[in-house]
Structure 1
Amino acid sequence: MQSTKRVALLVISCLTYSQFLLASEQSESKGFIEDSKWNAHARSLYFSRDFKSSHNTGQSKRMAWGLGLSTVFESGFTEGTVGFGLDAWGLQGIRLDGGRGHANAAMDVTPVGDSGRAAHDWSQLGGAVKARISNTTIKYGNQFVSLPILMTDSSRLLPESVTGTLITSKEIENLEINAGHFTAISGAHSTGHDNSGYPSAYYVGMKRLDFIGGTYQFTDNLATSLYYSWNKDIAKRAYGNINYTYPIDNQQSVNVDFNIYHSDYDKKYVRRTSEGDIDKSINNTIWSLAGKYSYDAHSFIVAYQQSMGGWYGHGYDYGSGYGTNDGGSSIWLANSYESDFNAKDEKSLQLSYELSGAGIGIPGLAFKSAYVYGWNADTAAYSGGKRGKERELFNQVSYTIQQGAAKDLAFKVRSSFYRATNRFSYGDNNELRVYVDYPLDLMALIKNNK
């Protein structure tokens, strides 16, 4: 009932302020079909983790290779004061390699049964209905969300999805407001809309996640965001961001990005994740500050991140299945790579370099290398009270074909060399991911062939 009231109040507020609009998205609607989009996407993903010590995983190597096929249709809105529309999508996963012995549900690539065998193929269908009045859109159904307190992960073979209601309002110039009420999450390797894809012994589904927040663009160079979420029986969470870019000249700029989360974990969640040893609510605050200097094609980044509070190896918890069921990418912090450097009381420092190929005459090419060192992590759950350290060397190179018959075909290789002390996390490992992505605009093909 409270979540329904929050949604109703937001809609009333947005429509009240519509008088400040310069233009209305709905008044410019061309129609259900005319504004529709239909895209297909094929992805090949090879994903492996080579563990240097299997004491925390029970495996010396985890590996999966698969093909993911997806198609997404997003209609326009019917004309009139209130426009109506429909979104629909389909996902198909095919395992190419990574059977018994190498498969593991924690890699989020293929469904894994109790026998330890990875599924050969799996599929899922989803859809949502939507309505728009002025510059406010309401959507209900199965959808993909990209917000700091609820972000479905798209880094695996197939994307996660959530089921519920999302309101997006742009009634005031430079201000975007988002509010949502969600009741189910589907993992990246799941076949159902209320199943994360993890073994039932560990998985506790989403009961209800409500949130409200938004982003205000003060200038072209300065923006801030604030969000608050209520995740039933798991946590209440607040998020804030300030992002500022100072242009020195046409070739140089400095960017400062500050992110912070504060989480109050419900004692039910703490009790479950501590196996009953702790029966009280616990909070955590984690923040990061990143400075980025860019000169032409080159960028240099320094970032500091700090986590305060937590329990038994838990600091900032997020994710699907074993986590807080708020999406596998709900961590908008600077030092998140293979490791998130988010343990209880952990501090971490990052040095990284980025290259844009367009600046050196190779458009479509991008490269990033980052080194992150974490210390002071409370690893009592693994090491008998000792403080843990971890470090990661991350490298990623990608290239997208710019023209010709294979235009938009993209290749990406990312690797991480991860090392940790005191039996921290899942131990030392080398990770490798190889992506081949091919997006296809089906609607454009249809229009061009008419």
Structure 2
Amino acid sequence: MIRPTSRLPALLAVGSSLAFPVVASAAFFEDSKASVELRNFYMNHDFRQDGASQSKRDEWAQGFLLNYQSGFTEGPIGFGVDALGLLGLKLDSGPDRQGTGLLPVGDDKAPDDYSQLGFTAKARISKSTLHVGTLIPKLPTVLPSDSRLLPQTFRGAQLQSREIDGLTLDVGQLTQNSLRNSSASDDMLVAGKGIRGGQASDEFNFAGASYKWSKQLSTAYNYGHLEQNYKQHIVSLRHHLPIRDGHSFDSDIRYARSTHDGNSNVDNTAVGARFTYNLNSHSFGVAYQKMSGDTGFPHIEGTNSFLVNYVMISADFASPEERSWQVRYDYDFTALGLPGLTFMTRYISGDNFERAGGREGKEWERNTDIAYVVQNGPLKNFGVKWRNGTYRSNGGNDIDQNRLIFSYTLPLF
């Protein structure tokens, strides 16, 4: 179970005690909602390079995600409480096959189950909301991973304000990190290629502002600081250009500058751009990404990185000085009378980074996704997805990977 950190119990207690005297408020109950999601996840990860210490990782697991969100009490300040319960069950694993990220890694074998339980106190004034407790923030500087059985969660506080139309402000602090395959709540670590000298930290401060200039254009600035590890500034721009019926062009441009803090050696500038042409049910995309500096792109351990070439197996194509490009194609089968069925394939190639012995590093990856979600009837919200990926390099791992995911979300109320 997730245990509250020493900094947060008082705030949680205050939020809960303030909510109870007005628990009879109709809005508290009427606006409440709860759902349970079931995920059945199989993953096979084969190492194809000569001399691999582990030939494959192969596991199968069942996940349960219970999500409750209350409404807010009435009055100038509304109070509420959220709850998140996570349970993962091992269906198949083995001492020589663990490490997929679906289950915790044991000394001998993966445990039979693992779980998390988190609570969040919340308060709302006008269009500003404060959350304190278990968080799953979705910001460029911190993007918790939800690509396995259970989502990654954090402990901390986040204030979001939308008092001005089109403007969203975020500020907060994270203190503990619960990885996607762990019951523990620990200090945060930095992840990134070539990064040294980082320290475990219980303080990640963040702030951000995004503004929607029109229905087509939005810009954002975000700041993140993992104490004793790195400081990061991210600027992004997104634009949607309607051309004519069924035709549009999307632009997504991102810039990030990361510098060291404490004794770390973080030094990275990341520039990326992705452009997509939408033609009815078809989408054709291209992306380019360039790393500069002594290290790769830093982010909190376990999180996704805010890069246009962050993908399935090799992660982010973000070695020091690496440049990479991507081509992508998506298709929505609704036009053929099959709503809910989608297809995606992409290819990414990276080079211009250094391997051992001074050789130029090169790597490529190919991904394919096929997914279907039932749109109506008794099995509405039941989904199945097959993900296939191939990764090759001239000095790292060579990997073939398959993921088969069945999911079903049941609204409780």
| TM-score, with structure 2 as normaliser | 0.89
Pairing partner for 2:407 from 414, 429, 437: 437
Matched, 1:79 2:68: no
Match of 1:419 in 2: 392
Match of 1:33 in 2: 29
In 2: Cα distance, 1:393 partner to 1:418 partner:
7
User: Secondary structure at 1:32's aligned position in 2?
Assistant: helix
Pairing partner for 1:290 from 267, 274, 296: 274
Match of 1:308 in 2: 292
In 2: Cα distance, 1:347 partner to 1:370 partner:
17
In structure 2, relative to structure 1, the CA distance for the partners of 1:207 and 1:335 (3 Å cut) is: closer
Q: Taking every aligned residue pair, what percent have the same amino acid on both sides?
A: 33
In 2: Cα distance, 1:62 partner to 1:206 partner:
30
Match of 2:362 in 1: 389
- Name stretches of at least 5 consecutive residues in structure 1 with no aligned partner: 5-28, 271-280, 321-326, 444-450
Matched, 1:44 2:26: no
User: Secondary structure at 1:359's aligned position in 2?
Assistant: helix
Give the Å deviation of 1:150: 1.0
Q: Where is the helix percentage greater, Structure 1 or Structure 2?
A: 1
Query: How many residues are aligned here?
Result: 382
Q: Where is the strand percentage greater, Structure 1 or Structure 2?
A: 2
User: Secondary structure at 1:150's aligned position in 2?
Assistant: coil
Match of 2:109 in 1: 117
Give the Å deviation of 1:266: 2.8
Counterpart of 2:47 in structure 1: which amino acid? Answer: F
Match of 1:343 in 2: 319
Give the Å deviation of 1:45: 0.8
Match of 1:276 in 2: none
In structure 2, relative to structure 1, the CA distance for the partners of 1:367 and 1:393 (3 Å cut) is: same
In 1: Cα distance, 2:123 partner to 2:149 partner:
30
Q: 1:198-257 CA deviation, whole Å, 9 max, x = no partner?
A: xxxx99644200010021100101011110111101110111110111100111001111
Pairing partner for 2:56 from 46, 61, 77: 61
Match of 1:103 in 2: 98
Across the aligned residues of Structure 1 and Structure 2, the Cα RMSD in angstroms comes to: 2.0
In 1: Cα distance, 2:243 partner to 2:108 partner:
56
In structure 2, relative to structure 1, the CA distance for the partners of 1:196 and 1:408 (3 Å cut) is: farther
Matches within 5 A, 1:262-281: 262-268=257-263, 270=264, 281=265
| TM-score, with structure 1 as normaliser | 0.81
Give the Å deviation of 1:292: 0.6
Matched, 1:405 2:378: yes
In 2: Cα distance, 1:112 partner to 1:335 partner:
24
Q: 1:21-74 CA deviation, whole Å, 9 max, x = no partner?
A: xxxxxxxx961111111010000111121001264x620101221001010111
In 1: Cα distance, 2:385 partner to 2:294 partner:
35
Pairing partner for 1:231 from 226, 230, 233: 226
User: Secondary structure at 2:334's aligned position in 1?
Assistant: helix
In structure 2, relative to structure 1, the CA distance for the partners of 1:123 and 1:195 (3 Å cut) is: farther
Pairing partner for 2:298 from 311, 317, 320: 317
Matched, 1:218 2:218: no
Give the Å deviation of 1:189: 1.0
Matches within 5 A, 1:108-147: 108-113=101-106, 115-147=107-139
In 1: Cα distance, 2:360 partner to 2:223 partner:
31
Give the Å deviation of 1:286: 1.0
In 2: Cα distance, 1:408 partner to 1:301 partner:
28
| Larger CA deviation: 355-364 vs 61-70 | 355-364
Counterpart of 2:87 in structure 1: which amino acid? Answer: Q
Match of 1:192 in 2: 184
Give the Å deviation of 1:99: 1.7
